[in-house]
Structures are given as structure tokens and as C-alpha cells.
A = this chain, B = another copy of it.
Amino acid sequence: MSDLLERLREQGWRLTAQRRVVAEVLNGQHVHYTADEVHARAVERLPEIARATVYNTLSELVALGEVLEVSTDGRAKRYDPNAHHSHQHLVCSRCGTIRDVHPLGDPLATLPESERFGFAISEATVTYRGVCPNCT
């Protein structure tokens, strides 16, 4: 976490209170907040932080590869701080809860050459969907 702030400073980031708070909110395992949820939690610590600042900061973190953008459905994007450990997502089709999961094998390897159509493929994301125990 403070590693994160350190890394960002090395990239020439100005370390403002707002950015620190956004980074703090995203700290933790299995965190998959929407921009609005990040903003709500950030406001608790720094009441004057603007929604636009949260959006800006999140986009920067995504661009720097420190946070992943997850669009599970057509609704608001979610932000996943677990960017340095490869994983996939398990989503509840009722309540929308997301869990990080680790499938067997490399998803990228499941697409044969004949199905690549000249694309230079760099990434494969898998989304598993089902009803979670709470919603059953």
C-alpha cells in the first residue's frame, strides 16, 4: 500500500491528500467498488473531495496498471486493486457481488491458432456467473 504511494511518487505523481485517500479506500482484498462507492468512502475521510477527482485518480491508477477496470455488466465500472496477481472473477447474477477466483490453466492458451484471425492477443478474462450462497 505505502509501496503503492511510493511507486506512484517515483512515476512523478504529486502526492495529494485526495490521491492518498483514494489509494487508502482501495486498499484490501476482494475490493470491487464502483467509482461512486469509492467516492462515498473517500468523503468519510476527506469531506471536500470531488467526484471528478475520484474519477481522475481512478483512471490514472488504471493507466499506471495499479488498478484493474472491471465491467461485469452494463452498469457502472468497478475498480479492482488486485492488479499484480493474475485472477478472474466470479459474479453473482442476483446481487452482483464479485469474488476473485483462480481457474486451472492459462485462459489465453484455450484459443487455438486457427481461431486467432491474425490478432496479437495479449489478454484473456474469464467471468463466471452464478447464484451466490446468500442469494440462494
Contacts and interface: CB of A to CB of B under 8 A. Distances in A.
Given A73-B71, A115-B101, A128-B108, A90 B121 contact: yes
Contact of A118 (B93, B108, B116, B132): B132
Interface string A86-118: 000010110000010111110110111001111
Interface in A47-92: 69, 71-74, 77, 90, 92
Given A73-B71, A74-B69, A122 B103 contact: no
B119 A130 contact: yes
A7 interface: no
**Interface size grouping (class) on chain A:** 35 or more
A29 B127 CA distance: 24
A125 interface: yes
A124 interface: yes
12 contacts: A71-B74, A90-B115, A101-B117, A103-B112, A104-B112, A119-B133, A120-B131, A121-B129, A123-B128, A123-B129, A123-B130, A126-B126
Interface of A: 69, 71-74, 77, 90, 92-93, 99, 101-105, 107-108, 110-112, 115-133, 136
